[in-house]
Amino acid sequence: MLKVNNIQTYYGNIQALKGITLDIGEGEIITLIGANGAGKTTTLMSICGVVPPKQGEIFFRGTPIHNMTTEKIVALGICQVPEGRHIFPGLTVKENLEMGAYLRTDHHGIKTDLEYVLDLFPILAQRRHQQGGTLSGGEQQMLAISRALMAKPRLLLLDEPSLGLAPLIIQQIFEIIRKINSEQKTTIFLVEQNANLALKVAHRGYVMENGTITLADSAANLLDNEDVKKAYLGL
């Protein structure tokens, strides 16, 4: 579904990605784990065209997207929940969700999906007319995921959905991630620092270090891998 072929991305003169190659299949949950500053977020930003790669290619369902603008990439069906959630603070919960469906024109489908996400996170239905900025961290994360789902993405990119949340909320959110994947058949690319959690929901995983991929294997194998255990699982 998504093929990332040896991309190199720079911030000014600083090289953040030194040749990343990834392959995400239809319907999979793939996770990318790694320490702070390894380049995980940059990888997502390169896929979305926010920080376009200087070299290398990205194909989405056969279409080259590495030279496309962000809104065109989003229109193809790639949607990101960025790190830090980035809720529009002055828009109400409902308006935030409507912004998620910005590129869609099928009013009927939007309405159905609105009901679906409010069903998924009932707390958001209660907060419908509240401003996004007044929600708690967990609620904001739920809103951010819901907003992305409103775009009806084929590929959902999640950047650190567990960051700064209480364990109970994290569990709830990972439950939903699994549900979205199994019910909606949405392919999910999950970037996480919480490697243990991420590898438990994912089918396959990539390990990233200093702008390069150092390991690629099935999630189960990675959980058993001695190096991964030592470096990321704290065992």
Partner 1 sequence: MTSSFFAEKEIYNGLLLSRTIILQELINFLMDYFLELLLGGLTKGSIYALIALGYTMVYGIIELINFAHGEIYMIGAFTALIAASILNMLGLGQITILILASILAIIYSSAYGFTMEKIAYKPLRHSPRLSPLISAIGMSIFFQNYVLLAQTSDFLPFPSLLPEFEFLQPYRHIIRSPEIFILFTTVVVMVLLTVLIKFTKVGKAMRATAQDRKMAMLVGVDVNKIISMTFVIGSSTAAIGGVLIASFIGQINFYIGFIAGIKAFTAAVLGGIGSIPGAVVGSLILGCTESFATGYVLSDYEDVFAFGLLVLILIFRPAGILGKSSSEKV
Residue ranges binding partner 1 (CB under 8 A): 48, 50, 69-71, 74-75, 79-80, 82, 84, 86-91, 95, 98-100, 102-103, 131, 133-137, 140, 147, 151
Euclidean distance between CA atoms 68 and 72, whole angstroms? 6
Q: Minimal distance in Å, beta carbon 234 to partner 1?
A: 27
**192's tokens:** 């996480």
Taking the complex as a whole, the smallest distance from the CB of residue 130 to partner 1 amounts, in Å, to: 10
Nearest approach, Cβ of residue 30 and partner 1 (Å): 19
CB of 63 to partner 1, least distance (A): 16
CB of 99 to partner 1, least distance (A): 5
**Alpha-carbon dihedral sign for residues 206, 17, 25, 159:** positive
Q: How many CB atoms are located within 10 Å of the residue 13 CB? A: 5
SS3 content of the chain, % helix, strand, coil (to 5): 40, 30, 30
CB of 58 to partner 1, least distance (A): 16
Label each residue of 106-126 as H, E or C. Answer: CHHHHHHHHHHHHHHCHHHHH
Burial pattern 99-122, b for ≥16 Cβ within 10 A else e, equals: ebbeeeeeeeebeebbeebbebbe
- Judged by CB, which is closer to partner 1: 147, or 204? 147
Of 128 and 230, which CB lies nearer to partner 1 in the complex structure? Answer: 128
CA-based nearest residue to 196, from 234, 141, 142: 234
Q: Which is nearer to partner 1, 19 or 82 (CB)?
A: 82
